[in-house]
Amino acid sequence: MGRESTLVLGNVRPMGERVHYEELGLFHENAEEHGLAFDAAPIVRREMVEVAPGRHLSALVWGAAPPELVLIHGGAQNAHTWDTVALALDRPLMAVDLPGHGHSGPPSPEGLGELSVSANATDVAVVVRALAPGAKVVVGMSLGGLTAIALAGQAPELVRRLALVDITPGVDGPKSQAITAFVNGPASFPSFDDILARTIEHNPTRTVASLRRGILHNAVQLDDGTWVWRYRRHATSLIGDPATRRPDWSSLWEVLGSLTVPVLLARGMRAQSVVDDADEAELLRRLPGARVVHVEDAGHSLQGDTPLELAAILARFVSET
């Protein structure tokens, strides 16, 4: 795809408007859009952690105190997907970029691309030990939720509570068809307008401002002026060839069912959700003590559709004794 350029967008005109991108300078937009107080910019820093020789994972660390929560995003997303949730929580936390996503390096060669939740969990465990070893809750959405389950199996001392955001091991191809089609879309886009139009088409209920902000966090402009998603920068694609790579995460049911820590499922109830009634029933069969919260106005991405409601759900969960 060519060498990436530094992401300075002063000469780019999305929707006819000049744009200047500062990664940590957009939080006021999140706050304004959702009616949150914004008296001062939050304390946020980006950290890089070496997870293997020559490979690094990146994370955003919010606040000056040790993180209380670890947030793991879904496939084709990045740590900034949690920005509004983090602002609403107003707690110290860490949001990690999964391998091959955001500012993180590529996944491990053994990881079958970014789809290997076991390899993802191995890498994430290194980051949690380095930056958030005392976190009270690990929160995972979609691919991040599957990674969080695997993490609980591999390193149970790091997962004291587990919150799953619209995901169970029952996810399959038909349930995630619309998401997969978007992720496996064009490899590059001629202009910012083109990548924005594609994103609006996939997210018709979101504001253009929020989608524009999300693209700035999740895409890069190459030297030739074209745009690519950050998760498409590496040799392995997110999904790969669907004819040869069909991940089966059903084995994670056994891991999930063996957990003795509190487990919460926040389930979106709109059509875009990838959790159905059978998945919910299976979760409660294996973990009768698990809590399930239905969010009526959300689809798959609760942190995007209803971030304040999700933040309230997580705040209650982290505060319980």
User: Active-site residue among 104, 108, 116, 142?
Assistant: 142
Determine the residue type at 14.
P
Q: Is 234 a catalytic residue?
A: no
Is 250 in the active site?
Answer: no
Enter the tokens of residue 67.
């993180």
Catalytic residue among 97, 123, 166, 279: 166
Find the catalytic residue in 273, 300, 301, 305.
Answer: 300
- Cβ distance 225 to 2 under 8 Å? no
Q: Which residue has the tokens 């995460």?
A: 249
Structure tokens, 29: 């937009």
Q: From CA 133, how far away is CA 160, in angstroms rounded?
A: 10
Separation between Cα atoms, residue 117 and residue 150, nearest integer Å: 6
Active site residue 300: yes
Catalytic residues: 142, 166, 300
